[in-house]
Structure formats: C-alpha cells, structure tokens
A and B are shown apart, each in its own frame.
Chain A
Amino acid sequence: MSRFPELGLILALAAGLQAAPASAGPLGLGRPATPDEIAAWDIDVRPDGVGLPEGRGGVAEGEELYSDNCAVCHGDFGEAVGRWPVLAGGQGTLTADRPIKTIGSYWPYLSTVYDYVHRAMPFGAAQSLSNDEVYAITAYLLYLNDLVDEDFVLSRENFLSVRLPNEPNFKDDDRLQTETFVFDEPCMKDCKPGEPTITMRAAVLDVTPEGDGEGSLE
C-alpha cells in the first residue's frame, strides 16, 4: 500500500471510510475501528450467551445440514470416519482406559459448539454457514448426544437453558498445589537400588514414522 499511497486513498474512499483520524492513544498510532468492521470480525460466543446472534434452527433441519456438510468426516451419527474427530457418544468413558471425549461426554459448554462450528467448520469451508444453519446443526449435535428430543429447536432465546453434563468436572490448574513433590530436594547419589532394568522399549511398538501405530494427538 505504501508504494501506491494514492491508490490506498481511493480504496479507502471507495469503502466509505472517512480520512482516518489518528488514534487518541499516547503514540497516535492506528485508527478507530468502525462499528461495521467490529461486527464483521467479532464472531465469538461465550458461555453466558454474549456473542450469540439472532437465529433459530431445529434438529430436523440440522440432520439434513449435517448429512450434507459434516457426515463425510464425522460420520452419520458423529461416530467419525477414520481418524476424523468423534462428535457424539462416549458418555461414562472419562475414567475408562480409553476415554472418548465428545460434546456429550466431555465439553463443558454448548456455546463452544456454536462458536467452533461457525468459525471453523465445515473443515475447508469455514464461516460458510448461516446463523440459522449453525443453530440447527448445534441442535442436531445435541440430539446425536441424546441431550434433546427430535423436535427440539435451538435459538438465542432458549440457548442458556441447555447445559452440557460434564460442565461441573472442570477445575482450574492446580499442578503446583497438588504435585508438590516437584519441589523436593533432588537426590544425587545412590537414589535407587540395583542395576537399571528396561521395563519398556519403543522398539517393541515400532510406530516411529513409516510405521502404522496407535495413539493420538489432539
């Protein structure tokens, strides 16, 4: 832009911006954001409903939208195709050997579903869904997780009435309070008896790249 200052000015005028006043800040840098600009980018939604747009959508519409836009990766019932993320089920598995973390089993807030589906899904076509469509898909994801009936319709008005079951099971970071052994004086000599014995080798699993292994990264 700096190489073509006049072009920048024309573009700015074309966009209906007034000659930008300098900021009121101590360095006078930047320019005030217009309300329309803020509205265009301010898409986030919070658990208390702040950020939710007008709109509504029900399980039935959601099912159709989901089949067309989401099922190819996440499976017809949110069970996932291949290694794409699982979206439904897993209730009661958080203490199991292999927990399945889904919207129904793990996520604390419904607002996160609305926010994330709108900002990032469908994968590769982010922010392509309308508000009503996101409400409908969110309703359908609740249905897939057995949290609402098939005639449920989600809207901004009733959004806060839906709570996800795992909400109470999150707590703030307490590592330094509960894992106080990390402040013990470290042992320097004869810290363990006997000779070292190998209890596990990565070579046995043999999943170092080019191998086909089990495991996950989130």
Chain B
Amino acid sequence: MSDESRQPKASRRAFLTGSLAAGGALAAVGAARAAGDPAILELPDWTTTLGEGVDANPYGMPSEYEAHVVRRNVPWLTADPVSSVNFTPLHELDGIITPNGLCFERHHGGVAQVDPAQWRLMIHGLVETPLVFTLEDLKRFPRVNKVYFLECAANSGMEWRGAQLNGVQFTHGMIHNVMYTGVPLRTILEECGLKPAGKWMLAEGADAAAMTRSIPIEKALDDCMVAFKMNGEALRPEQGYPARLVVPGWEGNMWVKWLRRLEIGDKPWHHREETSKYTDLLPDGTARRFTWEMDAKSVITSPSPQAPITHGKGRTVITGIAWSGRGTIRRVDVSLDGGRNWLPARLDGPSFDKSIHRFYHEFDWDGRPLYLQSRAIDSTGYVQPTKDALRSVRGVNSIYHNNGIQTWYVNENGEAENVEVS
C-alpha cells in the first residue's frame, strides 16, 4: 500500500482534480463517451486502491467528511470556558440516541479527571449504616439499562426575549439522550438502610465546583440511578466519569457528575444551584424554586438554520425530536404555516419513558416559504405551549424552563431562519 493511500486528504484531492479533468474531457469529446455522473463513470480511489488496515484507529472516528459535526460553544455567554457550556449538534443527528462525543457539556469548575481506583461513593446522614463504595463495589449490584434524556433547565433560555440564535444547536442543543447502565439508587440506599426521618438527599460531585443539589427522597427511591456506562462504554470524563447520578426527567443540573457523596437529611439544603440559580424569577419579583421537572417540548431539527433545504421543491423530509420529563410522547403535531393548521407527525423509533422521541413529516414542498413549528403532547396530556403563552405568565426574566414552540422560517431558496411569528 502506498503512503498516499494512507492519507485520505491527499486521495480526496486527487479524486477531485481527476474528476474535473474527466468532466472537461467529457465535454470536449461529446457523445463519443458515455454520458452521465462522473461519480458513477469514473472509478474513485476508494474502489481501486486498498483502504487502511484494521488498527488505523483503535478507537474509531467519524468520517473526515463529518468533521463539522461537533459540539459548539457560544463564547459570549459566560466569562470562562471552565464554567461554561457547549451544545449538541441536533441538526446533524437522527434517531433517538446521542453519540457520546456529541453530548453537550456544562460544568461549573472544569472537567474533573477522576482516577477510578481513587473514586469513592459515601452515603451517610439519616441511614442505619453510613457506607463507602468503590467502583468495583458498585459493579457488584444488580444493574439496569435505561434510555433517558438529560436537558439543562437553561436550554432555550437565551430565547425568552425573542429569537436570538440562528441554529437549533444553540437554541435547543443543551440536551442529549443516551442509554445508561447503572444501579437503581433505591438498591444502594437500601444497602445503607434509610431511616424514616430521611426525606431529602443531597448529591455532591467531586469536581472543583463540588456541585450539590437537594433531591426529595421519593424521587431518589423512584427512578434515580448511579450510572457508570453511557451507550455501552464508560462515561466520558465530561459526563462525570467514573459515575454520575441519573435523575430521569428532571433538570440536568441535578444529575450530579463525578458523584462522590449522598447525604440523607430531613430538609432541603437550599444550596447555590437551587437558590441563586435554577430558580425562576417571575414578573412580580417572586421566584419559583424546586422547578425540577422538564416540561414537554419538541423542535424541528431539519430543516433548521444550520440544515437548510438544498434540493429545491418536491419530496421533503421534516424531522425533529420531542421529549417530556413526565412520561412518554403521545403525539407531535407539525405546522407549515406558523401555527394556523397542524398535522400529526409520524413518530418512529422506540418510545421510552423520559426519553427523546423522533418524529418525521414527509411532504411535497411547493417551494413557497414555510413557517415550521412542532408541538409535543405527552402521556399526561400536557400540550407544549407557545412562547407567548409562557411569557404571559412568566415574563422574560425566568431564564429556565423555556419549552415554548419554536418557529423556523424557510424561504423560497430553502434557507432557514430562527424567527417569531404572529
């Protein structure tokens, strides 16, 4: 195998030049040569030469042509990348599972690089026996596998005052959906023996923010997990390696990463992330606290500003995602005319509790402008509201829990834009 064939970039250049030359020749010779697509008529390098061997990438990477599919950050949002956020490229994804390397990141003190041999989980407070577990201990409990979405409560928070960011990655990308492997928290707490006075649990991380959140014990015993795998492999460091808390359907900040400690108490702690932050300021100056559940929400991921329609009129696929912190998604409606008329979309793929659902709407586009919206209805009958309905109660300063209906304007050329419509 030549050195060149080991370098995909070089061979791609060679192919492009080659096909241009072939195109020229085709025009000059006219009907003397077979007419058609050079992608068919000319054999590309990847057909005529050998590819890389099995060990070229011991940990596989996406195609080089997918290099633009990455998490992106909005630098002006925060003072420092160590306490910041980046966003999942939703416009490039399909199905319901988010690949591990594309799950958005939000940390408050950078990514802790925890040595799994030094990792400990301590459980104490109102328990019969305060216990310490190693990672090995954790893996000796019975495990479960569950697909859950994790959405930051501030997802879409920049859009309260109106359309601000041109891309579903930025307006809705603080969400991911992965399969977790871990231990039901109930089983671990039972190992310590809960005292009846224990009504609340404080979860704490081992990172430089020592993130803490208070969680009611009913939730802890219901469906929370301590997870050590995501999509089959170890948690990524930025997702809390080696173990994180999973708090299904509730705001992402509570899913404490690099989990080190669970304390059982009789009252909530009212820590910084449940007072200064993650409380929702209302127009009268009062604020809601403990707004844990993520309301039903949906968004069209394609077309969208980063994923325009490039094929012109005719057969067109609209796709998007929907989720609810209270259950499954019963139905998603799509509107092409800014909410005047709605059609039920086609849900496809597995429907799991508190997981992302995928929807499609296929239609013949006549080339006229579209005002695309989607509306989720969950298994409790909750209907995703309009942004204006939310603003009428909450004003524009509550930052968190903006689950209003998103509008993409698609012009005659298929370019899409983040807008609000009347």
Contacts and interface: CB of A to CB of B under 8 A. Distances in A.
B136 A38 contact: no
A107 B133 contact: no
Could you say which of B124, B276, B337, B383 has the most chain A C-beta atoms within 10 Å of its C-beta?
A: B276
A173 B271 CA distance: 17
Interface residues of B, number: 106
B124 A215 contact: no
Nearest to B106: A217
B51 interface: no
A187 B342 contact: yes
Given A1-B117, A27-B191, A191-B339, A108 B275 contact: yes
B219 to A, nearest CB: 13
A25 B382 contact: no
B99 interface: no
Given A120-B210, A126-B210, A209-B73, A108 B270 contact: yes
Contacts, number: 274
Given A23-B191, A186-B377, A107 B285 contact: no
Interface stretch (B17-25, B157-165, B350-358): B157-165
B312 to A, nearest CB: 22
Interface in A23-70: 23-27, 29-33, 37-38, 41-48, 50
B341 A171 contact: no
Contacts of A108: 270, 275
A41 B154 CA distance: 29
A171 B288 contact: yes
A38 B270 CA distance: 21
A173 B292 contact: yes
A54 to B, nearest CB: 20
- The majority secondary structure among interface residues of chain A is loop
B419 A198 contact: yes
A122 to B, nearest CB: 11
A186 B399 contact: no
A99 B260 CA distance: 35
Interface in B109-155: 109, 117, 122-124, 128-134, 136-137, 140-141, 154
Given A95-B285, A208-B170, A112 B129 contact: no
A109 B274 CA distance: 11
Contacts of A107: 275-276
B192 A184 contact: no
B276 A173 contact: no
B140 A29 contact: yes
B407 to A, nearest CB: 8
Given A31-B131, A190-B341, A216-B77, 7 more contacts: A23-B129, A25-B131, A25-B192, A50-B265, A124-B208, A186-B377, A192-B422
Interface of B: 72-80, 82-83, 85, 108-109, 117, 122-124, 128-134, 136-137, 140-141, 154, 157-158, 162-167, 170, 187, 190-193, 202, 204, 208-210, 212, 260-261, 263, 265, 267, 269-272, 275-277, 279, 281, 283-293, 295, 305, 333, 337-343, 371, 375, 377, 381-385, 389-390, 393, 397, 399, 401, 409, 417-422
21 contacts: A33-B130, A37-B132, A106-B281, A119-B210, A120-B108, A171-B289, A172-B289, A173-B289, A175-B401, A178-B393, A186-B342, A191-B341, A192-B340, A199-B420, A201-B409, A202-B163, A202-B417, A205-B163, A207-B165, A208-B165, A208-B305
